[in-house]
Amino acid sequence: MAGPPETARRSPIDMTPFEAVSLFFDRAADHIGLADEMREVLRGSYRELRVQVPVRMDDGRLEVFTGYRVQHNAARGPYKGGIRYHPDADLDEVRALAALMTWKTAVVDIPFGGAKGGVQCDARSMSDAEKQRLTRRFTQMIAYLLGTNRDIPAPDVNTDARTMAWMMDAYSTRYGYTPAIVTGKPVELGGSYGREAATGRGVVLCLAEAGRSLDIDLQGATVAVQGFGNVGSWFARLVGELGCRVVAVSDVAGGIYAESGLDVDAVVSHVAESGSVVGAAGSESITNEELLELDVDVLVPAALDRVITDANADRIRARVVAEAANHPVSPAGDEILEGNGKTVIPDILANAGGVTVSYFEWAQNIQQFRWEEERVNAELSKTMSRAWQQVYARATGDGIPLRLAAFALAVEKVDQADRLRGYV
């Protein structure tokens, strides 16, 4: 007897990242009654490029990496999105993340489309010199897709301001001085004040708005943060401004917990000295899995994708989950959290502070006029508050979860832009 078709047999946890993001998109398309013909246009990418990235390693070997730049949609403006260096950065993942950028830039209403890039490599085992050679070659290979009015990369997982400096230099050597070609640069090279902290700060601003709208008292609320890279560490440093207490943080090496609250600045210093949060004074060790299931008020996944799935969603005790990472909750995990009455602040809203300040950086580069940090943070705050209010109003108005509301708003905007341009 023939078994069920392959797709029917797969549980939602087995979905690829792109299938999962497409499911979120399809639900929004159903909700807003998007025309079938537009579904195909908006689900897939406008353009996808796979490149070979040969790198001479320090030991003399030539290693050939594979890199991608996926340009999902540019109806609302130039393509925008980060570059990640990670062993899992394959075409499907980069495609999913590119689509998320389209929806994210639409939610915060900045004039960009969505793209993502990635090189499949274990950046953490590579020397700085190797990473610089990789970055320069990758930039050369995708350069003809880029442009200050075409496609503007930024940092993402395992890339940072220094990576952007190398990208800008590689591009500028060929095309002339072009600071606006990437965002997230060092401040000394045209980066914006406040960009490094922006994603974490945006999550804090969103959480503050959620607290006000949902009547959640954040004063004294306990917070657990999974991931202590740029986003997680800045979030942990800034969330104290809301009166919250960070009781747990983690990184790839493991997690730490202190019931009375961690001294986040001391943890940051400990990481600078030892390379990990593990072993910070006054903390006990926990695993990354245990961190997710702690009895806290707010859980902030700020590391990689799909850490909350149908395998553990039932054990999440936090009342609010703020998605600082991209796609940390699988569709099946999302349904379970929803069923358990959790408030999930979706990635395309919660972590949009980074790309928002990237927009400010790009605008400053083009105008050749630097903003003070106060102005950057004030504009960021305005943008995040407006986005939250719009998503929250849609969610309550239509009686739908925040993720569906955010996707619905975003898909409507991009659909409208594509139609106005006469693209379809």
Q: Choose the binding region for ligand GLU from 268-276, 285-293, 350-358, 392-400 (rule: CB under 6 A).
A: 350-358
Residues 302, 355, 387, 411: which binds ligand GLU (CB under 6 A)? 355
Residues 118, 202, 354, 401: which binds ligand GLU (CB under 6 A)? 354
Query: Other C-beta atoms within 10 Å of 341: how many?
Result: 7
Spatial separation of the C-alpha atoms in residues 334 and 340, rounded to whole Å: 10
Please name the residues in contact with 379: beta carbons below 8 A apart, sequence gap of 6 or more: 360, 371
Beta strands across the sheet bearing 151-155: 47-56, 62-73, 114-120, 79-85, 151-155
Number of residues engaging ligand GLU in binding (CB under 6 A)? 12
Residue 299 CB, nearest approach to ligand GLU (Å): 19
Residue 108 CB, nearest approach to ligand GLU (Å): 10
Does 200 bind ligand GLU (CB under 6 A)? Our answer is no
- Which of 80, 104, 116, 131 is the catalytic position? 116
Which run of H or of E encompasses 312? none
Spatial separation of the C-alpha atoms in residues 180 and 191, rounded to whole Å: 9
Residues 42, 107, 110, 154: which binds ligand GLU (CB under 6 A)? 154
Q: Which is nearer to ligand GLU, 73 or 222 (CB)?
A: 73
Residue 164 CB, nearest approach to ligand GLU (Å): 10
Residue 311 CB, nearest approach to ligand GLU (Å): 25
Does 358 bind ligand GLU (CB under 6 A)? Our answer is yes
Q: Which is nearer to ligand GLU, 157 or 224 (CB)?
A: 157
What DSSP string runs through 179-224? GGGSSS--GGGTPPTTHHHHHHHHHHHHHHHHHHHHT---TT-EEE
Spatial separation of the C-alpha atoms in residues 195 and 377, rounded to whole Å: 9
Spatial separation of the C-alpha atoms in residues 272 and 281, rounded to whole Å: 14
Q: Which is nearer to ligand GLU, 155 or 333 (CB)?
A: 155
Residue 413 designated active-site? no
Residue 178 CB, nearest approach to ligand GLU (Å): 16
User: Cβ distance 206 to 349 under 8 Å?
Assistant: yes
Residue 104, burial from CB neighbour count under 10 angstroms (0-12, 13-18, 19+)? buried
Q: Which is nearer to ligand GLU, 163 or 351 (CB)?
A: 351
Spatial separation of the C-alpha atoms in residues 91 and 227, rounded to whole Å: 24
Residue 184, burial from CB neighbour count under 10 angstroms (0-12, 13-18, 19+)? buried
Residue 367 CB, nearest approach to ligand GLU (Å): 18
Q: Provide the token pair at 151.
A: 């496609």
Q: Hey, which residues between 60 and 89 contact ligand GLU (CB under 6 A)?
A: 80-82
Q: Hey, which residues between 272 and 331 contact ligand GLU (CB under 6 A)?
A: 326
Q: Choose the binding region for ligand GLU from 241-249, 255-263, 351-359, 375-383 (rule: CB under 6 A).
A: 351-359
Q: Choose the binding region for ligand GLU from 186-194, 241-249, 280-288, 347-355 (rule: CB under 6 A).
A: 347-355
Spatial separation of the C-alpha atoms in residues 296 and 316, rounded to whole Å: 9
Q: Which is nearer to ligand GLU, 24 or 257 (CB)?
A: 24
Residues 156, 196, 323, 334: which binds ligand GLU (CB under 6 A)? 156
Nearest by Cα to 231 from 201, 207, 253, 208? 201
Strand partners, 151: 79, 147
Residues 183, 222, 230, 330: which binds ligand GLU (CB under 6 A)? 183
Q: Which is nearer to ligand GLU, 297 or 347 (CB)?
A: 347
Residue 403 CB, nearest approach to ligand GLU (Å): 16
Does 233 bind ligand GLU (CB under 6 A)? Our answer is no
**Active site (catalytic) residues:** 116
Interface contacts to ligand GLU, rule CB under 6 A: 80-82, 154, 156, 183-184, 326, 351, 354-355, 358
